[in-house]
Amino acid sequence: MMKLHYLELNDNQLTGHIPPELGKLTDLFDLNVADNQLEGPIPDNLSSCTNLISLNVHGNKLNGTIPHAFEKLESMTYLNLSSNNIKGPLPIELSRIGNLDTLDISNNKISGSIPSSIGDLEHLLKLNLSRNQLNGFIPAEFGNLGSVMEIDLSNNHLSGSIPRELSQLQNMFALRLENNNLSGDVMSLINCLSLTILNVSYNNLAGVIPTSNNFSRFSPDSFTGNLGLCGYWVNYSCQELHPTERGTISKALILGIALGALLIFLMILVAAYRSHNPTSFPEGSLDKPVNYSTPKLVILHMNMALHVYEDIMRMTENLSEKYIIGYGASSTVYKCTLKNCKPVAIKRLYSHYPQCLKEFETELETVGSIKHRNLVSLQGYSLSPSGNLLFYDYMENGSLWDLLHGPTKKKKLDWDTRLQIALGAAQGLAYLHHDCSPRIIHRDVKSSNILLDDDYEAHLTDFGIAKSLCISKSHTSTYIMGTIGYIDPEYARTSRLTEKSDVYSFGIVLLELLTGRKPVDNECNLHHLILSKTANNTVMETADFEITATCKDLGSVKKLFQLALLCSKRQPSDRPTMHEVTRVLRSLVPSPTPAKQCSMAPPPPLPSSKSPCYIDEYANLKTPHLVNCPSMSTSDAQLFLKFGEVISQNSE
């Protein structure tokens, strides 16, 4: 037990206290006791588990305070203490767990103010302090949380204004501040261009609600319960809201009339002067005011030839809502049918990139030149102050995310289709990593960025936001890019980006395909779940029903689980390259010759008389010494257990 890495005891009926003796498990990576009936305080001894990456005690009856000794847990990335009876202040020591990407202490009895040092958690992606008894101001230092995507401070007693510094959070897509005592206006949020979920209802906010930028996405429910707010969203005129005294109006009226008369007099003088001294203008200059010029449409694909910006606006009725086919954290997507009757997808970016427009345009030119059957082509773009538009191939069957998790699953994915989707996405990513010049890191590999054409062939999209790889093969950024659930923990910890960060994300996509589950769903992390099931050799219980119903050789399913876990190993150097991943996937895809089973066809015989087994496909990966090829009589279950030697080192 002393070498135990994963302890998953969640969703049982455990009672009593958390044993302090757990602090002796110094090799523990993951402790999950969520949704039990445990009582008492959280033991200080847990701080001795210095390798702990994830701690989840959600949904118990724990009391006491948050241990200050948690500051020793420097490797911790996930801390969930929500839905307990924990009291006391929010300890400043939590801000010293520098690798935290998720901090959830919601639905407790935490009191006092929020420490400003929480703003030092530069890798934080999700912060939930809702349903407590917090008071004081929202720290301006939250503006330093450059990677944060979700902040929930709702149902507390917070006061003061919404900090202007929050406008710096360009990755934040959800902000919940409802049911507090906040005052001031909401103008500080107008530049949070990625914000798609906002709730500031039932506060003491006042002033005009903007209608521009991201505010066009929010419903009136986001602002209800603030008597001082006015404007379009609350159907309340701002003039009615600020009655002024009669004497003040009279003085203002008199001053306005006087200034107006003076202005008219000056205009008459200027007109009279110009009639005697006409000004000569360069030919054509009157018709070309710089600030109102028509945006230029740059064509990168013959499919859009003979089109101009005005054509696109006319065909989409100025990007009317009825042409919207999807939303993202950074864009809205429209469908447009061109003159040749072929559809394109138009991605309208929320951010205008005012500081690096030339650099962005250069990158788009590079991306537009990349052609591969498993990559979505960039057909054109238009960059202007009125909005940046990117034109892509239109994919009839939407995204893999929609197919796996969408409300209307219009197709059941059998095993062969899932394998073909995995192979297509892998081939597209391998091309970016190994065959582009300069090579490209995607940065946001996920199922919603894998689009499917009429034949359900996979096409990787959104690599236009990737940065070109330099000769050093790595890139260090000031904030984390990606999506929760798919982000490489090593990248989140170090901000050091390599192709292996994409490999990790692709491993999570494989787990999605295998299980039909979301990477993060409520309190469940898919990767952690699969690791715990692997330790008990029960991982096949998580396979999607459509797989077990359509695949007659479940050994190939086990092999794909193995590959997914190899891609998502903790150390980037232990993960395969995408070329290696593609080679393994090709070996699993059924032969085009008529065959009724979904297992792979045996490879061509080697000069030796002994036929190779599937495990040879892993021979060139990073841990060949850990994988032995057993005899052909060895069962798939035994092969899986042997491969567990590789998996067991996932966190070393």
Confidence of residue 482 (pLDDT cuts 50, 70, 90): confident
**Token pair for 470:** 């330099």
Confidence of residue 485 (pLDDT cuts 50, 70, 90): confident
Q: Please determine, for residue 75, whether its predicted confidence score (pLDDT) is greater than 90.
A: no
Q: Please determine, for residue 598, whether its predicted confidence score (pLDDT) is greater than 60.
A: no
Decide which of 579 and 258 is more confident. Answer: 579
How long a stretch of residues is the chain? 652
What is the percent of the chain with per-residue pLDDT over 70, rounded to a whole number?
A: 77
Question: What is the mean predicted confidence (pLDDT) over 277-286?
Answer: 39
**Cα distance between residue 75 and residue 50, in whole Å:** 7
**Token pair for 75:** 């490797």
Q: Please determine, for residue 61, whether its predicted confidence score (pLDDT) is greater than 60.
A: yes
CA trace torsion 188, 190, 196, 200 (10° rounding): 40
Predicted pLDDT of residue 242: 47
Residues in CB range of 312: below 8 A, 6 or more apart: 297, 336, 346, 382, 389
Number of H-type helices and E-type strands within the chain: 13, 30
Decide which of 128 and 331 is more confident. Answer: 128
Give whole-number Cα distances, 589 to 327, 497, 594, in Å: 33, 31, 13
The model's pLDDT over 245-262, given as tens digits with 9 standing for 90+, comes to: 444 445 556 666 777 777
Residues catalogued as catalytic: 444
Say if domain 296-393 classifies as CATH 3.30.470.30: no
Grouping H, G, I as helix, E, B as strand and the rest as coil, residue 10 is: coil
Question: What is the mean predicted confidence (pLDDT) over 447-460?
Answer: 92
Q: Which of 572-576, 580-584, 603-607 has the lowest mean pLDDT?
A: 603-607
Predicted pLDDT of residue 233: 56
Q: Is 347 annotated as a binding residue?
A: yes
The model's pLDDT over 167-199, given as tens digits with 9 standing for 90+, comes to: 888 888 889 999 999 999 988 888 887 788 899
Which residues of the chain are in CATH 1.10.510.10 domains?
Answer: 398-588
Computed over every residue of the chain, the mean pLDDT equals: 79
Which residues of the chain are in CATH 3.80.10.10 domains?
Answer: 6-230
**Token pair for 232:** 């379009």
Confidence of residue 355 (pLDDT cuts 50, 70, 90): low
Q: Which of 112-116, 198-202, 292-296, 395-399 has the lowest mean pLDDT?
A: 292-296
Which residues of the chain are in CATH 3.30.200.20 domains?
Answer: 296-393
Predicted pLDDT of residue 437: 78
Predicted pLDDT of residue 356: 63
Q: Please determine, for residue 636, whether its predicted confidence score (pLDDT) is greater than 50.
A: no
**Cα distance between residue 458 and residue 404, in whole Å:** 14
Confidence of residue 243 (pLDDT cuts 50, 70, 90): very low
Predicted pLDDT of residue 366: 82
Predicted pLDDT of residue 219: 79
Query: Could you name the CATH architecture of 6-230?
Result: Alpha-Beta Horseshoe (3.80)
**Which of 106, 238, 95, 126 minimizes the C-alpha distance to 179?**
106
Predicted pLDDT of residue 251: 58
Strongest mean pLDDT among 125-129, 144-148, 406-410, 536-540 = 125-129
Regarding the domain with residue range 398-588, which homologous superfamily does it belong to in the CATH classification? Transferase(Phosphotransferase) domain 1 (1.10.510.10)
Predicted pLDDT of residue 606: 34
Question: What is the mean predicted confidence (pLDDT) over 479-491?
Answer: 78
Residues in CB range of 70: below 8 A, 6 or more apart: 46, 47, 76, 79, 91, 93, 94, 97
Q: Please determine, for residue 478, whether its predicted confidence score (pLDDT) is greater than 70.
A: no
Question: What is the mean predicted confidence (pLDDT) over 149-176?
Answer: 91
Predicted pLDDT of residue 474: 41
Predicted pLDDT of residue 289: 36
The model's pLDDT over 7-40, given as tens digits with 9 standing for 90+, comes to: 889 999 999 999 999 988 888 888 999 999 999 9
pTM, two decimal places: 0.60
**Token pair for 55:** 């701690």
Residue 368 near residue 391 (C-beta atoms within 8 A): no
Question: What is the mean predicted confidence (pLDDT) over 325-351?
Answer: 84
Confidence of residue 563 (pLDDT cuts 50, 70, 90): very high
**Cα distance between residue 242 and residue 250, in whole Å:** 16
Residues in CB range of 482: below 8 A, 6 or more apart: 443, 444, 488, 491, 501, 505
Q: Which of 237-251, 366-380, 480-494, 593-607 has the lowest mean pLDDT?
A: 593-607
Encoded amino acid at 543, one letter: A
Confidence of residue 1 (pLDDT cuts 50, 70, 90): low
Confidence of residue 42 (pLDDT cuts 50, 70, 90): very high
